[in-house]
Amino acid sequence: MDITLSKTQQNIAQEARRFLKKECPSEYVQKMFKDPQGMTDDLWRKMAEMDWMAMRIPENYGGMGMEQIDMSLLLEEMGRVVLPGPFFSTVILAGETILAAGTDTQKRQYLSAIADGKAKATLALHEPDGGSDLGYIDMSGTRNGEDFILNGTKLYVPDAHLADFIVVPVRTGTTGEPADTISLFVMSAREKGVTISPLPTMDGTRKLSAVICRDVQLTKASILGELNKGWHPLMHALQRAQVGLCAEAVGGAQKAMEIASDYAKVRVQYDQPIGSFQAVKHMCAQMFTETESSRSMLYWASWAQDFGAENEATIAASSAKAYCTDAFTNVAAKGIQVLGGTGFTMENEMHLYLKRAKANQAALGTPVYHRERIMQLLASAVQ
């Protein structure tokens, strides 16, 4: 057993922190928050030069074949600065799904483009009335000869406005469990019949859109892997994406905690730094406690995706998703409280953390959803 970071892993984090401090300062994030695109091409290109898009992609598809924990360390640093833009949607949501479901040819085509930074992509998962239920997939894919016709609405799709291609889980089977009825299509964002409408988001650093498909005609070759067999690879990819959100949450919580405790050391009221008052000090201590324990959960869940048994990978991802995103929300909210009126302004960066925290809590299954999933696994193990 060794639950420490290797030298290489420490370097990933340090390099990322150095790069992002320079290239993605708070002023840039504040600007992108209001910008309709949400990221500059310049930053995207520089990130690609760092080989970040290639980290998790296997070497034979032009990537570096690294582990989930390595990606988590990078995402932790991205969360620390509340990185805007389509990295998460492209590399994690679309990339991991293609990696889990695609055929060799599909991986060669799409993953190489992602690894090089040439393509931006996303995953269109949620639907109206589905809530957090990841299996609520109503978009229909009906056969038309050798082709399929897609009809339906996908919501809360991250960065669809920038995407070159979109992975879409679709119901192609008529009856039965998701495991036998869901297919994953990959389609161009400019496919005939696809309408992408940006939605006003609370977190301006993570743009969301509605993706509406009206009689979108796709060939059979657009199906990732096998027809009707998209559910399991999708779930595997989503687990890694859930862990990815945890990593962002840990990085964000860490920075929010640092901002708050640094402020508490210098802000003087009643002739003393407010951090000397236990009411404030204990809030900071609680922020530290939740952040540091979240990091332990993140390491476990990251490791379990690559090396744990299937059941452990699932329960670890759900446990971490609930724990870390709850913690980030608590920490960011306390951060605003410690900063007082200053923390309540748009000018101060703390709002970025609270908004991202809520977004990460809501995305890919709320804590309530994940707790129920855990309970199902626990109850079946005990009874």
Partner 1 sequence: MDFRLTPAEETFREEFRKWLNQTLPGDWDPFNQPTFKEPEKIRDTYRAFQKKLSEAGYAGIHYDKAYGGQGRSLMEGVIVSQEMGRRCISVVMPGVITHGMALPLIYFCGTEDQKKKFIPKILDGSHLWCQGFSEPDAGSDVANISTMAVRDGDNYIVNGQKVWTSMAHFADYCLLVVRTDPDSRKHKGLSYLLVDMSLPGIDPRPMTQITGEAEFNEVFFDNVRVPVSSLIGEEGQGWKMAITTLMFERAMGDVVISAAYETNVEKLIRMAATTKNSGQPVIEDPVYRQQIAQSYIEIMALKYHGLRNFSSHIKTGIPGPEGSIGKLLWSEPNQRITETAMDMQGPAGQIAGGPWSVQNGSWQYAFLRSKGNTIEAGTSEIQRNIIGERVLGLPKDASRDKSAS
**Which amino acid would we find at residue 145?**
G
- Minimum CB distance to partner 1 smaller for 191 or for 312: 312
Virtual CA dihedral for 58, 60, 64, 68, nearest 10 degrees? 10
Binding mask 260-279 for partner 1 (x = CB under 8 A): -x--xx------xx-xxxx-
User: Contact, 96 vs 240, CB < 8 A?
Assistant: yes
**Which amino acid would we find at residue 124?**
A
Residue 285 binding partner 1, by CB under 8 A = yes
- Minimum CB distance to partner 1 smaller for 136 or for 300: 300
Q: How far is the CB of 303 from partner 1 (least distance, A)?
A: 5
Q: Count residues near partner 1 (CB under 8 A).
A: 51
Q: How far is the CB of 316 from partner 1 (least distance, A)?
A: 8
For partner 1, the binding residue among 71, 137, 297, 354 (CB under 8 A) is: 297
Residue 8 binding partner 1, by CB under 8 A = no
312 Cβ contact list (under 8 Å, min separation 6):
304
Name the nearest CA neighbour of 94 among 158, 41, 182, 38: 158
Write down the residue that tokens 């979109």 correspond to. Answer: 166
Could you give the CA distance from residue 233 to residue 229 in angstroms, rounded to a whole number? 8
Q: How far is the CB of 84 from partner 1 (least distance, A)?
A: 29
Residue 289 binding partner 1, by CB under 8 A = yes
Q: Is 125 helix (H, G, I), strand (E, B) or coil?
A: coil
Q: Where are the beta strands (DSSP E) in 235-296?
A: 268-269, 272-273
- Minimum CB distance to partner 1 smaller for 69 or for 137: 69
Q: How far is the CB of 12 from partner 1 (least distance, A)?
A: 12
Q: Is 131 helix (H, G, I), strand (E, B) or coil?
A: coil
Could you give the CA distance from residue 296 to residue 219 in angstroms, rounded to a whole number? 45
Tokens read off for 80: 């620390």
Write down the residue that tokens 């995402």 correspond to. Answer: 75
Strand (E) or helix (H) holding 163: none
Q: How far is the CB of 10 from partner 1 (least distance, A)?
A: 12
Could you give the CA distance from residue 100 to residue 233 in angstroms, rounded to a whole number? 5
Q: How far is the CB of 332 from partner 1 (least distance, A)?
A: 17
Q: How far is the CB of 328 from partner 1 (least distance, A)?
A: 14
For partner 1, the binding residue among 199, 221, 346, 378 (CB under 8 A) is: 378
Residue 296 binding partner 1, by CB under 8 A = yes
- Residues near partner 1, by CB under 8 A: 1-6, 9, 69, 261, 264-265, 272-273, 275-278, 281-282, 284-286, 288-289, 292-297, 299-300, 302-304, 307-308, 316, 319, 322-323, 368, 370-372, 374-375, 378-379, 382-383
